[in-house]
Amino acid sequence: MKIITVNILGMHCANCALTIQNTLAVLPGVQAVQVNFASEQAVIEYNETATNMAAMNETLGKFGYSLLEVTDNINVENDKIKKIKLAELTKQRTKIRIFFPLSLIIILSALWMILAQYFSAIPPFVIPEKIFNISVFIIATVVFWGLGMNFIKAVPRFIARGQANMDTLVGLGTGVAYIYSLLVFFLPKLISSWNLPNILYFDVVIVVITFVYLGKYLEARAKLRTSETIEKLLELQVKSALVLEGKAEIEKPLEDIQVGDIVIVKPGGKIPIDGEVIFGESSVNEALITGESLPQDKAIGALVIGGTVNLQGVLHFKVTKNIHETLLANIIKLVERAQNSKAPIQRLADRVARIFVPVVLLVALLSFITWLTIGSLFLPWATAFSLGITCFVSVLVIACPCALGLATPTGVIVGVGLASRYGILVKNAESLEKLGKITTIVMDKTGTLTKGEPTVAAIIGLNNATKENILTIAVSLEKSSEHPLAKAIIEKAAEQKITPLAVEKFQAWPGQGITGQITGQKYYLGNARMLEGLGIAFDSELIQEFSGWGQTPLILADESKVLGIIAVADVLKENALESVKILQGLGLKVIMLTGDHRSAADYIGRAAQVDEIIAEALPATKAEKITALKYANELVAMVGDGVNDSVALSAADIGIAMANGSDIAIEAADITILHGDLSKIITAIKISRLTMKKIRQNLFWAFFYNLAALPIAAGLLYPFFGLLLNPAIAALAMSLSSVSVVTNSLLMKRARF
């Protein structure tokens, strides 16, 4: 099976998207199709042996659509599609500049003639009616066959294949108005003999097509803004890199950079591609990728991410990934995939849009027939026929499902883009929707609530030994050790600017500790078991107390007595307690789920003030605990590191990976926090809730607009209040409804968290 993302050309409305989706779905070999009207893209899963892009394009070409596959070179592809869209927008803008002023003149002229009949203060229209009608006929003909060509083409496609969309509605409505007006204009005697009204609808044709065309232009321009997130991510990629070959520095296009090449980045330059530092030290601004506001120190062995900015020193690094496998490339693909996915709430809009056009066609036809039959019983035939034509055109024009089709995808696109700006990667629209509804959030301890690395928590001096002396001896011994706890002591000594002393006769005792000789004196640094074996007395209750706090006590002793204790622990992240309180304030139950022993778990859990602590849980047990919560009707989010918590992440309704740029985490979780900052989870939940709020607003107004407008357009209120919707006003209202939905979604970009 192959999965591709394609750009769609020729798609104008929500029903176009459904037509494309339904047409592709029944092709042999196609397994799944998701079409996104807002992004004008589709994700297609198909069997390459059964079908291909050429076959898909041949089938869709009959309906006026075409597909353009998105290649690995996303920069080139994005530029290509953007140029096509901008060129189309330029053409539309040129046509609007010509025809929109003419439409305004026609509207004002028609309004002048109508008002002049009823108000004596308004002088008669200066242009003779015959000349005016000829002018309007010429303009209407140019507009109908020029601007309206897409609408006209949709009518025979509908008749031949039964596939209707917004273009079909406008094409039928304006086509009926135009053809009837031609009969009135060229065959007035025939119209009179049939006792039909001698009314021209050329002005309706001009204004409706121009306003719908204007709406499409405004909608396309607004939709183009929803893709800004991808564009900004693409802007982070540089075009070339400085590669070290021998002693020469050669600038190469990024596409030519290979894994293993040595790249040089100077101060202020962008790091072009992912790699590992082999020379130099610097600080790197990773905010645009991970959302981490503080610069990150980089030295030999540190990983650097393409798209980040080198702030200070010169760095040489070895390329570890090609351009298509970098973290930035993965982020772009993930954001694009999420923006093209559908939220569950979209299913309602899809179901409505699927039946909407046929229903509208039926309502339009029924309104016309009703005016001819029932209306003619109470009104003159000519008046009833005129009202029938007006209502027929108005119903077809105002009932555009575009606003309905745009309601959800525009919200998803902007929401996913907003999340990525804060270093939050959302895998799909469903995850974005569900995140805001969670009732319980379960967190792993190590690396999630805690820093995930040992830190010196306390130093206790005994038998007149000072803390400085204890740390000096300890770091002198540990500098030769490979034990994970050694790093904590070395970092603490560096922080206090303590210089290690020379050590002789160093020896490691596996599972117990280390020993060595400093200036002729032998020292031991290890656990209680080591001292018991040496026969050196120590305060066992104090050691137990440290263990009860979730800390690992390292006992320092010479050959006769204990000199002090260094307690090492994995401590809470700086903002862990505050983040837990805010999550609880959002109405969530916070549970800590860890494989650590009970004492360590209790200590960290109490410090973080979580609602419940579950300790000593194996990976399979973690998944069972989450499943039990789901059976208790809780909607559960699991927060872990994306690798050793993968079973629990999969079991949860939403899996959230805390990652420092881990590709595995990005693939494993529904949502990935690119930097291990718990506050980003709060931001993600708030973005989810804001997105769903906007989508619900969009759907409400789209439904409300169509439900309220259709009866008025059909003339239901005319017998009671004399209220009738002019087709020109209907066209303007339809266009504005789509633009308002897109604009409402775009307002999310102003949100700050």
Mean pLDDT of 65-93: 71
Query: pLDDT tens digits, residue range 487-513?
Result: 888 888 888 888 888 888 888 887 688
Q: Which residues pair with 460 in a beta bridge?
A: 565
pLDDT digits (tens, 9 = 90+) for 203-220: 878 877 887 787 677 767
Over 80: is that where the pLDDT of 83 sits? no
Report whether 724 contacts 391 (CB < 8 A). yes
Q: What is the pLDDT averaged over residues 602-613?
A: 91
In whole angstroms, give the CA distance from residue 24 to residue 86.
Answer: 27
pLDDT of residue 369: 92
Give the pair of three-digit tokens for residue 541: 């209750």
Q: What is the pLDDT of residues 556-577, one digit of tens each?
A: 999 889 999 998 887 888 889 9
Mean pLDDT of the chain: 82
pLDDT score, position 686? 95
Give bridge partners of residue 569 from the DSSP assignment. 455
- Global model pTM greater than 0.75: no
Please name the residues in contact with 498: beta carbons below 8 A apart, sequence gap of 6 or more.
468, 471, 472, 475
Is the separation of the CB atoms in 109 and 125 below 8 Å? yes
Strands (E), 510-580: 513-518, 521-526, 552-557, 562-569
Confidence of residue 223 (pLDDT cuts 50, 70, 90): low
Q: Where are the beta strands (DSSP E) in 395-471?
A: 424-426, 440-443, 455-461
Arithmetic mean of pLDDT, 626-642: 88
> 238-322, what's its fold?
2.70.150
Question: Residue 383 — very low, low, confident or very high, per pLDDT cuts 50/70/90?
Answer: confident
80 to each of 77, 231, 340, 593, how far by Cα in Å?
A: 5, 12, 19, 48
Q: Name beta bridge partners: 556.
A: 525, 564
274 is catalytic: no
Per annotation, catalytic residue among 167, 203, 261, 444: 444
Q: How many CB atoms lie within 10 A of CB 237?
A: 19
Q: What pLDDT was estimated at residue 227?
A: 60
* β-sheet with 424-426: strand ranges across: 424-426, 671-673, 654-658, 636-640, 440-443, 589-593, 612-614
Q: Which residue's structure tokens are 């993968």?
A: 646
Among 145, 139, 137, CA closest to 184: 137
Domain residue ranges of the chain, discontinuous segments joined by +: 2-70, 82-228+339-410+696-750, 238-322, 423-451+573-691, 455-569
Three-state secondary structure of 88-119: HHHHHHHHHHHHHHHHHHHHHHHHHHHHHHHC
Model pLDDT, residue 15: 72
Rounded Cα–Cα distance for residues 306 and 175 (Å): 55
- The correct CATH number of 455-569 out of 3.40.50.620, 3.20.20.70, 3.40.50.720, 3.40.1110.10 is 3.40.1110.10
The tens digit of pLDDT for each residue in 661-701 reads: 455 556 667 898 877 788 999 999 999 999 999 999 988 88
Rounded to whole angstroms, the Cα distance separating 516 from 556 reads 11
Quick one: CATH architecture of 2-70?
Answer: 2-Layer Sandwich (3.30)
65-74, 236-245, 270-279, 645-654: least confidently modelled range: 65-74
User: Between vectors from CA 690 to CA 686 and to CA 694, what angle results, nearest 5°?
Assistant: 170
d(CA 493, CA 488): 9
Q: What is the pLDDT of residue 222?
A: 64
| Class level of CATH domain 423-451+573-691 | alpha beta
Residues 6+ apart with CB under 8 A from 74: 234, 329, 332, 333
